[in-house]
Structure 1
Amino acid sequence: MTSLTFHGGVGEIGGNKILLEDGGKRIWLDFGMSFKQSVLYFDEFLQPKKYNGVIDFLEMGLLPGVTDMAGFYRQDYLAHADMPTSPDAAYDGVFLSHAHADHANYIHFLRSDIPIYASEVTKRILASLEDTSSSGFNEFLNFKETFTLRPKKTGEGMMKPKSEETKVARDFRALAPGEQVVVGDLTVEAMAVNHSIPGALGFLVHTPQGVITYTGDIRFHGYGGALTRDFVKRAAEAQPIALICEGTRLDETDSFTEQDVQERVAKVVRKTKNLVIANYPWKDIERLRSFYEVAKMTGRKLALSLKQAYLLKRLEGTDAGAPSLGDGNIVIYIDRKTWGLINKPHYPQNIVEQDYSAWEREFLSYPNRVTCDDIHRHQSDFIVRIDFFDLTDLINIRPDDGSCYIRSITEPFDEEGEIELERVENWLKHFGLYPYEQVHASV
């Protein structure tokens, strides 16, 4: 008998952790972070303790308290918390729809021998997040075994090994759209869908009782909207016995499309004399494409953040639809960090590099890199992305009169978001960028 158990994603935005069981086989549809549950207990400066492993998350209901945790969660975390461990995995796989945190983040806590199925693009996005994130819970493709010791080279005593010495690769399996995976009597069929992050999949799970359709997060108004329509058509043909559907905006009838976003942004940019500053989700490749197309048609260059540059490099050779880093309308904005030496040429290169993480350093020598000084001197040449955490860069860029700010992210949906927006508006008012333009299509 096929059964479904929802450990998240019901009555909330995201947090999907859906267990599907049939004939002794057990698979998960997504394993994401519940923002709704997390903010009840934790904040930026009140975080779960790493030494507790899964304990804090189980205590506060953030992770499922399944009966066979020994065969589900990371063995290093369980052992350090004096919890039972097991040599064998108790579950047969996680089918991951896409790389947003509310669907993927808690993969970090799973043992390495449980297969993770996702698209190649999702795999590369997670690799990018793993390399660039400063979070302590971001080990998606590889995890580094913690709480282990090794003998010193002298043979006298023990020491903590370097993190690279304890790296364990997950059983991560890239799926092509249309590919099918057989798990016992279950056959999971993957199909590409359109979402605000590339590489998204929906799944048709063929069970002995019939088909269960899982949409993941979908939309119709993006450049790849035809993918979602094809998925819906295929799902209808399968005559599912159950439909698990994302319903964040089921009550909305707004037909504002990604093409509409591009056209409205172009209208704003054309009438802007000096610098165009924008904030849009850094992993949203379709939104990046919209701003890139506007930059091309208005004779500007789109300045990407270092994280965006690293992501685009990771996505090279895929069907993600991202522009090339070598494109003439793309530049890489190298922001100042730590000592702020990037625009001080009298410092040796090796000293400048120490301001940056290892993954950032290769971009310091790219011919199309720019600094705050370059943008300040040539404001009419650029569209630069500045998000909430980079607002202090405005002090160095110093936008001239006749500049504008385009906010291309969703409206706040809670009190914390409203407080953050108020703080953003204070910055914009200080630099003469208020009122700003709000140009966004829902996820």
Structure 2
Amino acid sequence: MAQVTIFGGAGSIGGNKIHIREGSYGLLLDFGIDFSIYSRFYGDFLTPRSGRGIYDYLHLGLLPPIANYRQDLTPADLTLNGMPEIPIDALLLSHAHMDHVGLAGMLDTAIPLVASGTTLGLIKAMQDSGPARMGSDCIYTKERIPHDERTLISGRKEAIGRDLIVTDAMTDSFSSLISTIPQGKGATITASVSALDESKIPFSIDACPVDHSIPGATGFLLGGDLSIAYTGDIRTHGRENTGTSRFVDAARAMGTLIIEGTRLSREEEPSYSEVSEEEVAWNCRAVVAEENGLVIADFSPRNIERLAIFQEIAERCGRQLVVTAKDAYLLQAMAACGHLNLLPSLMMHGGFSDPRMAGWKKGLSEHISPVSSEEVKRDPGGYILCFSLYDLVALPDIDPEGGTYIYSTCEAFNEEMALDAARLHQWLDRFGIRCHGLPGRSPGSSGFHASGHASPGDLEAIVDRIDPDLIIPVHTTAPEWFSKRWEQVVIPETGEAIIC
């Protein structure tokens, strides 16, 4: 009999950490950060102490009490006695959002990662271009050495890599992306990259592409001595919904369904319940067509569907779509993983002349043209800027006289996001910029974002179609929604084993 233990994602949205055990073998499904816990203790200028490794994370419940972490992140005064070392033959990553992968770098580096090439490529690109942060350094890392019994410091400069197992085709460009570390972040990766069917994992694993708001999302079917389907994050209303349909059909052979329920308690319901990417495209196109001045579009560049929408809108409206340097690097990584290369048709905000420029930026100059704030200021009606709140610091240089801001991302669902929305209001009011899509700013704010998660009606159809013997809801604050509809539901408690 298999044993399922939810170490994260029980009664919360995100932070999935799911352990599957059969005898002396085991797998982890995702290992993400639970932002609802993190935001209780930490904020912009209050963060876990990097010199204490996993110490703070364990004490505050951000990591489960197991003994499978990197020794170089365990200070000498932290005892793991009494914490079980559970069997982990591999870590399966469903997609590259931080609430699913954000703490994977803290696990023992001997544990191989299993994911789609796109997921691994995106994680690598985010690690390359982001700040050095514990937990997110899961593709490669630098070993830390003790300074004293309480404090850890960075040690060897050569990067240590994990074994990476790719669930789909590998290309030369993908291999080059994975094996290259930007200047200043290490020397070489010692990881090996292999295909899933060449692995020695003691369970059969079928990785099924599914529709989500980020490319490379995967649902997993665990066979052999197991009979478990895991949705990861899933939806049916995106352009890749045929992948979701194939996953659901294949999952009908599985006895246990571990399923997300993100939108069961969100306040945005029913605003986003029936909005498709095609409707988002139509609504955004209409707004841009009516604007003669600056347009700012707020969405994640990892949402490749949304980026393609705004690229098409820019071309139709005679504008240039402008992304940030980090966004351009992520798009370059996605192209290396086999996705459409959009960089030649885009522009990048900023330039390449700064001698202090990070190594990951330098390679972009061959693929994308820069545009400065001064150029945007001279012709604001010629551009669509792909900016989030944190990029608006450039607005004083651009100094627009009005314009339009399209908020094409999720609504605030926690206190920190609500504070960000309030700050966004201040920025827009300061420059007289009209807003579409941000609740509370104007009537008719819906229709500018399609959720990355299935609606309640779609979830019900998915469960009925699979008809599992056991249902385990995760990634939701309303697990009782499932038990009101089906008898075979077990609402998980964090750390408690479920026999299936």
TM tier relative to shorter chain:
0.7 to 0.9
The alpha-carbon distance between structure 1 residues 367 and 211, as it changes in their structure 2 partners (threshold 3 A), is closer
Asked if the contact 1:180/1:187 (under 8 Å) is kept, the reply is no
Mapped partners of 1:392, 1:280: distance in 2: 17
| Letter of the structure 1 residue corresponding to residue 203 of structure 2 | L
Residue 429 (structure 1) aligns with = 429
Shift of 1:229: 1.3
Which of 311, 332, 344 does residue 326 from structure 1 map onto? Answer: 344
Shift of 1:358: 2.4
Matches within 5 A, 1:198-213: 198-208=215-225, 211-213=227-229
Matches within 5 A, 1:360-439: 360-363=361-364, 368-401=369-402, 403-438=403-438, 439=448
Shift of 1:436: 3.6
Asked if the contact 1:55/1:81 (under 8 Å) is kept, the reply is no
Mapped partners of 2:278, 2:155: distance in 1: 48
| 1:48-88 CA-partner distances (Å, limit 9, x unpaired) | 1122111111111111112xx1xx21121126556479xx9
**1:242 pairs with 2:256:** yes
| Letter of the structure 2 residue corresponding to residue 388 of structure 1 | L
Unaligned runs of 5+ in 1: 150-159, 336-341, 343-348
The alpha-carbon distance between structure 1 residues 161 and 389, as it changes in their structure 2 partners (threshold 3 A), is closer
Q: Residue 391 of structure 1: SS of its match in structure 2? A: helix
Asked if the contact 1:181/1:187 (under 8 Å) is kept, the reply is no
Asked if the contact 2:323/2:387 (under 8 Å) is kept, the reply is no
Please, what TM-score do these two structures have when normalized by structure 2?
0.76
The alpha-carbon distance between structure 1 residues 360 and 31, as it changes in their structure 2 partners (threshold 3 A), is same
Mapped partners of 2:435, 2:133: distance in 1: 37
Shift of 1:234: 1.4
Residue 78 (structure 1) aligns with = 74
Matches within 5 A, 1:123-142: 123-137=120-134, 138-142=136-140
Residue 269 (structure 1) aligns with = 288
Shift of 1:241: 1.6
Residue 105 (structure 2) aligns with = 108
| Structure 1 stretch displaced more, 30-39 or 308-317 | 308-317
Q: Residue 26 of structure 2: SS of its match in structure 1? A: strand
Q: Residue 119 of structure 2: SS of its match in structure 1? A: helix
Shift of 1:260: 1.0
| Structure 1 stretch displaced more, 364-373 or 289-298 | 364-373
Residue 346 (structure 1) aligns with = none
Mapped partners of 1:110, 1:41: distance in 2: 22
Mapped partners of 1:431, 1:280: distance in 2: 20
Which of 135, 141, 144 does residue 143 from structure 1 map onto? Answer: 141
Asked if the contact 1:278/1:407 (under 8 Å) is kept, the reply is yes
Q: Residue 327 of structure 2: SS of its match in structure 1? A: helix
Q: Residue 260 of structure 2: SS of its match in structure 1? A: coil
Q: Residue 416 of structure 1: SS of its match in structure 2? A: helix
Residue 345 (structure 1) aligns with = none
Asked if the contact 1:99/1:197 (under 8 Å) is kept, the reply is yes
| Structure 1 stretch displaced more, 414-423 or 306-315 | 414-423
Mapped partners of 1:286, 1:250: distance in 2: 24
Shift of 1:400: 2.9
Asked if the contact 1:53/1:81 (under 8 Å) is kept, the reply is no
Mapped partners of 1:181, 1:234: distance in 2: 22
Shift of 1:169: 0.8
Please, what TM-score do these two structures have when normalized by structure 1?
0.85
Residue 353 (structure 1) aligns with = 355
Shift of 1:256: 0.6
Unaligned runs of 5+ in 2: 148-152, 170-194, 439-447, 453-500
Asked if the contact 2:94/2:219 (under 8 Å) is kept, the reply is yes
Mapped partners of 1:65, 1:296: distance in 2: 52
Aligned residues: CA RMSD: 2.5
Q: Residue 442 of structure 1: SS of its match in structure 2? A: coil
Residue 176 (structure 1) aligns with = 168
Mapped partners of 1:419, 1:83: distance in 2: 38
In the comparison of the two structures, how many residue pairs are matched? 404
Residue 321 (structure 2) aligns with = 302
The alpha-carbon distance between structure 1 residues 188 and 363, as it changes in their structure 2 partners (threshold 3 A), is closer
Residue 42 (structure 1) aligns with = 42
Mapped partners of 1:98, 1:435: distance in 2: 31
Asked if the contact 1:179/1:190 (under 8 Å) is kept, the reply is no
| 1:67-122 CA-partner distances (Å, limit 9, x unpaired) | xx1xx21121126556479xx99421111100100100111101111111001001
Asked if the contact 2:9/2:17 (under 8 Å) is kept, the reply is yes
Residue 157 (structure 1) aligns with = none
Higher relative contact order (CA 8 A, sep 6+): 2
The alpha-carbon distance between structure 1 residues 187 and 258, as it changes in their structure 2 partners (threshold 3 A), is same
Identical pairs, percent: 33
